[in-house]
Structure 1
Amino acid sequence: MKFLRWLLVSCSVLFGCFRVTGQKVNNQYNLAIQKTSIPVQIDGLLDDSAWKNADVARDFFMVLPMDTSYANVKTEVRMSYDDQFLYLVAVCYHGSAGDYVVESLRRDFAFQKNDNFLFFFDPFEDKTSGFSFGANAAGAQWDGFIYEGGKMDLSWDHKWISKVLNYEDRWVFEAAVPFKSIRYKKGMTSWGINFSRNDLKTFEKSSWAPVPRQFPTVSLAYTGNLNWDAPPPAAGANISLIPYVLGGLSKDYSKATPTEFRKDIGGDAKISITSSLNLDLTVNPDFSQVEVDRQVTNLDRFELFFPERRQFFLENADIFGNFGYANIRPFFSRRIGLNVPIQFGARLSGKLNKDWRIGLMDMQTKSVAERDLPTQNFAVVSLQRKVFSRSNIGFLFVNKQSLRYEPDKDPVTPEARQYNRTIGIEYNLASPGNYWTGKAMLLKSFSPGGGPRTITQAANLNYTSRRLLLSWQHEYVGKDFIAEVGYVPRSGYVKMNPQAGYLFFPRKSAVLSHGPLLQTVFYANEQFRKTDYEHSLTYRTTFRNQSVLNAYLSKTYIELLTPFDPTNTGSDSLATGTRHRFSTAYIEYISKPKSLFTYAANVRYGGYYNEGTRLQLTSEFGYRFQPHVGITMSSTYNDIRIPGSWGRRSFWLVGPRVDITLTNTFYFTAFGQYNEQTKNINLNTRLQWRYKPASDFFIVYTDNYLPEYMAVKNRALVAKFTYWFSL
């Protein structure tokens, strides 16, 4: 515990040294926006009166490949508004001859694989949260919520309209964003704003207000100013009802049960309490249209993480789910309704004012008699207070409560806890220019009969410049710390993770940058006795055409704290306390995104548990008939050889995928997954027709087979209809 106290003191001193304030970095970049009395027609033409006298944002700065000059590709942006909409038009001139490069017409495309234009705005001028909208050169829309100053949540989805027209020398993007679709504070006449352009034909990324190349252009620390001629209009009453009706059937062939027929109804409501605070309500939600998780070959000792995909949990998800670290999450929304029906729920989230954010959530699930699982209530309280220039202090409380529960006497069904609670506080550091970032966190859990070591503490500090990366992170998770509504796969350990990296920028070379990254991940038990470590050296090479080559060497030591089957197939287990040392080499290449045919491949070879060896081959090949069809084949092969009863084991994981986007509102996806480790073949097809903005019709078909003789395990067909009513 002396070590823990030393860590706490050192964190306090360290973060106290970086209390930063300062003027906005790009305060000299200003764009005026004036109200128009005639609504803009969203047609991709610049003949509206609003554009004739509008201020123009031009002279973009290059971000990639280098950030030391103006962009070679010319872009011009104009903005206007009326009582209902925020308008924007961007003229994106071609930098070289040839067709545009796009992945598909699918919404929320991959930024690095498309010619695109995006705009980011910070309506609170807090440099930490905001919104992004945009499109690729074929007209596919992009929208998302910005959190932690420069991270994008593309799952956020709202109603807005846009149009893209292509010409011989340019493409034009025109958009209208309803004020009801965004959150902002009334009365503010200056918003943070920036524009980003990605042009794959010239391998150039640019922005209006300059952004250092080591940061994404979405970084709100580097926005300019959008200066309104009058305060933006109030959004007015903003209530949306999103009901759904659903029908389907499913059959479990492995249990020889009769076909089950489904018919369901439910829905969500979105109510704007203020222009920046939103109340979400749900009754009998259904998430059958959500794309299934990709299967993986699991050779890990701990639980794997899969991201949240359900729409209800996504708006302002960061204030709930980003508390903590990747492997220390006190709240993880996928724990709610995991194979259990949700009855109803409510979420209040957003801004109270410029400095305060709030998140309140209450969800209730149904009981499941055959698993002796009671009705459970999940309550979450999250508060966040901005401090200094871009930093904040956060508070979180999570409560899971079993209601009217008396456990049965069956020893087969596990006994649920009456309650589990977690309380925490954290400080998030972000300097004005984003060079210094970090976090310090303290958590404590409460459960019936809980042990004495229920504290978790962690901190990290990062310095990122164009050439240099320095990072330190440490964690302590007490043996008795339990976060049932979180994701904490490991307990009873101390972890330290320092990193140091450097980049070289050769002149007049096909190589844009290259350099080493050295890091150590060290684990010890609570008595600070070594249990695991991995020392690694990575050499990273990025080419001017945006292809990437990485090489990696590592040395690993593991002392097993519990029995472990190194094949994860139910075979014999290695004993607790056994020690394993091995080295690994790895090389990876990712091709340039401009090509119609793209590919990525990596090879990993080295030692494995019990003086064994492991060869892993991973590849992905894709071809696109842009912008309508994309075909991808991904595969992973593991060859494991372990002395003893395991012998030689090999696992294939193969996954073909077809994406068809006939228009930017009609999508069809089909993919298969063959997982040799779990002996399962999965087929999934999904048709989505967005017949009106934010209103959808889905048809989803899933099938699971045993690889032997293609025997059917189960299959299901669901049709779902949703409609977004704006009141």
Structure 2
Amino acid sequence: MHISKLIIFSLLIFNISFSQTDNHLKITRINSPVNIDGKINEQEWLNVKPVKMVMFLPTFNQAPTEQTEVRLVYDDEFLYVAANLNDQSPDKIQITSNKRDAWNLSNDIFGIMIDTFNDKENGLCFYTNPAGSRWDFTVYNDASGGFPVNISWNTFWEVESSIDENGWNVEMRIPLNSLRFNENEGKVTMGIIPWRWIARKNESSIYPAIPNKWGWWSQIKPSQAKEIVLEGVQSKNPLYIAPYISGGLSNDNDLNDAETKYVRDNNFKSDIGLDIKYGITSNLTMDLTINTDFAQVEADDQQINLTRFSLFFPEKRLFFQERAAIFDFQFGGPNRLFYSRRIGLDDEGIQVPIIGGARLIGRIGQWDLGFLDMQTSKSDSLPSENFGVLRLRRQVINDNSFVGALLTNRYGKNGDLNSAVGIDGIFRVSEDDYFSVSMAHTYETDAGNEIGTLDQMRFLTFWEKRRFDGFNYELSYSFEGENYRPGMGFSTREDYSRIGGDLGYGWIMDEKSWLQRHNVSVNYAAYQRNSDKSIETAESELEWNIIWKNGFNGSFSVQMNYEDITDTLEFSDDAEIIPGSYDFYNFSAGLESPSGELIGANTGFTIGRFYDGTQLSFGIEPRWNISADFSLGLGYEFNKLDFSKRNQDFTAHILRLRSSLSLSTSLSLSGFVQYNSAANLSITNARLRYNPAEGNDLYIVYNEDFNSKRRRELPYLPRFNNRTLLLKYTYTFVN
């Protein structure tokens, strides 16, 4: 008790008001709507003073090489954004995609991040290119961490672009109904960050002048946004009703009851369903879904697992991605208390039908709220189940400090019950220092379920300095009990304690240097078994990361590893690691070409010892943005393990081919073909999308799983496991 009081007292002592003290940016209210045509010639724009953009990359706070003028106005229903993006060489403006949501830094880009709740933590981003393509996504955790954005979020808004002899121009019309906000006495305060990217120059400019000491994501960091105030804006209660209809053919090859041959089953599938979205208040939204369908979702990337732990796959289903950050409750790495892929997918990644569900997301008073309840049907491997999640979170002490709680409940019709409750907090204790703590307790049918016992708990405490230049560091400790079972979460290990730390130093170079920034760091982590206090894993690494001003990125690292395994680790029928203790080391390097180039590649390799053998892993991802209509991407991974002393080896290849054909901003065709030699499997996913307006979608989807070595089993495997051709149409009615 004394320790907890001391922590709270220390946080209060270090509490500093980190909010911006600058005056709000004054936004003009207009009385007549702006015609959105990509030509900024209306008087409403000419009467507005543009904001002053400054260079972010390659050298911060320099004058941009091209002039950019950004203006904002609003009325009762919309926020309007206009940008004059001058270019002295308009013939060199780059357009490499017409496709909706085809985020690609080889395009010239303009966009704006809006912190609609002004919570200094979350934001909505609206971006476009000279073709008028729409890209929208969310940012969370104040743009901190590995990839703090959700690129699959979509909402209703309009944009038009045009190119002339002076450069290109953008007009955006964003419905206030799409933003969700806090209204206080007729006033709404938001934060904004306009952003421009010139691909061929690897140059970006922003407003306000945000330093790049937090790395690339500084450019959309909500805590650094410029505040604006909208007056006389009233909350609306929009209603979106989106029914869908789908149908198609499927061929499945299943082993017969006698297990003597595979029998093809041909089926015609048809389905209907409904999604409803209702804005209860200006900052609270409810979603209802009936017979939820994910026919248009892209296949998971194939992976080669060289560890003894389960692979983590990211969520790709749009329903679970939308505003997913509110449910975020992490314990480091992929470990988390809530993992949405537990709903509607079994452990093999096979879809389980979802009968329906409800979601409530937004803010009530000072509390951020997330509620989710979903019901699934019975499948071959799982009973019919109900999944419930409740998340509460609020600011404390200062703009970037939060406390919260998460509750999950998974109940099967067979009587199995798994529940979890967690509390967490993140506290900004100085300008760049953050202290985090997370704790969870699980309850399960037939378990002891003794409240407060460490056996069913997980705990993490974490201190970090969030900045790139100068000294930066991380220190963490985590614990997981023997009977901790998050039925709706993800955990790689069981019954262990971990201590880890990183210490680094970074340099941001001046305008005379050919480097933009680089840093050196030393990283260490040790995992201890709780049962006997023995070391299970120890990892240490010396790493150097470099970013050049021309856009190249490089990394070099030396890793030293210790592993003590108690069970045989199998990679194939011909290669395994026997139980024992192993010390080994390896070297890794990677290089990424400038993202703004039309042709480029990312590549990397690892070479060195691997347990009692050797490892050579190599990967390359070339890309070719042929035109605004067509792009091509290739991925190849090679893994070679050699255990010559035991006359064993393992070789695996993964090949990925992605292509995208954009016939217009509303019609696109994408293809994704993968080959995994370890699984002897080829997977094809092709999608035709027609999207004439937001919420109006027609998909034609083709999927196939193809066996590459049919004679490896008896009876011989079929040429394909399953093949599906589906059509899905969704139309959204807006009230």
Q: Go from structure 1 to structure 2 and tell me whether the alpha carbon gap of 1:665 and 1:252 turns closer, same or farther (over 3 Å shift).
A: same
Tell me the amino acid that sits aligned with residue 478 of structure 1.
G
Against the structure 1 CA distance between its residues 422 and 296, is the aligned structure 2 distance closer, same or farther, given a 3 Å change threshold? Answer: same
Deviations for 1:28-52, whole angstroms, at most 9, x for unmatched residues? 2643222222211110112223212
Q: For each residue in 1:81-122, what CA deviation from the matched residue of structure 2 results, as whole angstroms up to 9, or x when unmatched?
A: 222221110111226665123442233343644321111122
CA gap of 1:10–1:458, structure 2 versus 1, over 3 A, is: farther
Distance 1:77 1:202 in 2: 20
Matches of 2:481 and 2:644, distance apart in 1: 35
Please state if 1:292 is matched with 2:299. yes
Q: Which residue of 1 aligns with 2:715?
A: none
Alignment of 1:420-569 (within 5 A): 420-430=418-428, 435-450=432-447, 453-465=455-467, 466-506=469-509, 508-526=512-530, 527-565=532-570, 567=571, 569=572
Per-residue deviation at 1:476?
0.8
> How many equivalent pairs are there?
698
Deviation, 1:72, is 3.3
2:373 match: 362
Partner of 1:410: none
Letter in 2 for 1:543: W
1:402 and 2:404 correspond: no
Contact 1:95 1:202 in 2 (8 A): no
* Matching of residues 154-553 of structure 1 within 5 Å: 154-186=151-183, 187-215=186-214, 216=217, 217-228=219-230, 230-235=231-236, 237-253=237-253, 255=255, 256-338=263-345, 339-353=351-365, 355-368=366-379, 370-371=380-381, 373-389=382-398, 390-403=400-413, 405=414, 418-430=416-428, 435-450=432-447, 453-465=455-467, 466-506=469-509, 508-526=512-530, 527-553=532-558
**Matched residues in 2 for 1:242 and 1:437: separation?**
42
- Provide the TM-score with structure 2 as the length reference: 0.90
Aligned to 1:31, what secondary structure does the other structure show?
coil
Contact 1:31/1:56 (CA < 8 Å) preserved in 2?
A: no
* CA shift for structure 1 position 387: 0.7
Deviation of 1:716 (Å): 0.8
Say if 1:540 and 1:23 are closer, same or farther in 2 by CA, change over 3 A. closer
**Do the aligned residues in 2 keep the contact of 1:55 with 1:79 (CA within 8 Å)?**
no
CA distance in 1, matches of 2:553, 2:341: 33
Contact 1:254 1:712 in 2 (8 A): no
Residues in 2 aligned to 1:189 and 1:54: alpha-carbon distance in whole angstroms: 20
1:688 maps to 689
Is 1:714 equivalent to 2:714 in the alignment? no
Q: Contact (CA 8 Å) 2:103, 2:135: kept in 1 or not?
A: no
Give the structure-1-normalised TM-score.
0.91
Q: Conserved in 2, the CA contact under 8 Å of 1:72 and 1:95?
A: no
Q: Secondary structure, in 3 states, of the residue corresponding to 1:284?
A: strand
SS of the aligned residue for 1:39 comes to: coil
What secondary structure does 1:149 align onto? helix
Structure 1's 632 and 243: CA in aligned 2 closer, same or farther, altered over 3 A? same
Instruction: For 1:697-712, list aligned pairs within 5 A.
Output: 697-708=698-709, 711-712=719-720
The residue type paired with residue 685 of structure 1 is: A
Determine which of 13, 19, 24 is the counterpart of 2:19.
Answer: 24
RMSD over aligned CA atoms reads 2.3
Could you tell me how far apart the structure 2 residues matched to 1:607 and 1:14 are?
49
Alignment of 1:610-649 (within 5 A): 611-643=612-644, 647-649=648-650
Residue 68 of structure 1 and its aligned partner are, at CA, apart by: 3.9
Correspondent of 1:726 among 721, 726, 734: 734
Q: Deviations over 1:501-533 (max 9, x none)?
A: 222345533322233121012111115431101
Deviation at 1:448, TM superposition (A): 2.1
> Aligned in 2, Cα 1:349/1:529: closer, same or farther, shift over 3 Å?
same
Change (3 A) 1:454 1:89: same
Q: Matched residue of 1:259: which SS?
A: strand
Secondary structure class of the residue paired with 1:479: coil
Do the aligned residues in 2 keep the contact of 1:22 with 1:432 (CA within 8 Å)? no
1-side partners of 2:50 and 2:229: how far apart?
A: 13
1:262-313 per-residue CA deviation (whole Å, 9 max, x = no partner) reads 0000011001111110111011011010111111112221111111122222
- Offset from partner CA, 1:653-698 (integer Å, 9 cap, x none): 1112211112222121112111001110111111111022122100
> Is the 8 Å Cα contact of residues 583 and 607 (structure 1) preserved in structure 2?
yes
Q: Residue 107 of structure 1 aligns with which residue? A: 100
Query: Can you give the 5+ residue segments of structure 1 that lack an aligned partner in the other structure?
Result: 406-416
Residue 601 of structure 2 aligns to a residue whose secondary structure is: strand
Identify if the C-alpha distance between structure 1 residues 282 and 189 changes in structure 2 by more than 3 Å, giving closer, same or farther.
closer
Alpha-carbon shift at residue 588 of structure 1 (Å): 1.0
Contact 2:670–2:687 under 8 Å retained in 1? yes
- Note if contact 1:620-1:634 (Cα within 8 Å) is conserved in structure 2: yes
Separation (CA, whole Å) in 1 of partners of 2:465 and 2:25: 31
**Farther off after superposition, 506-515 or 536-545:** 506-515
Given that residues 106 and 597 in structure 2 are in contact (C-alpha distance below 8 angstroms), is that contact kept between their aligned partners in structure 1?
Answer: no
Structure 1's 11 and 283: CA in aligned 2 closer, same or farther, altered over 3 A? farther
Residue range with higher mean Cα deviation, 644-653 or 674-683:
644-653
In structure 2, C-alpha distance between the alignment counterparts of 1:11 and 1:679, rounded to whole Å: 58
Task: Tell me which moved more, 311-320 or 648-657.
Answer: 311-320
Q: CA deviation at 1:570?
A: 4.8
Question: 51, 62, 67: which is aligned to 2:60?
Answer: 67
Query: Is 2:590–2:605's contact at 8 Å kept on the other side of the alignment?
Result: yes
CA distance in structure 2 between the aligned counterparts of 1:352 and 1:591, rounded to whole angstroms? 46
- 2:137 aligns to what? 144
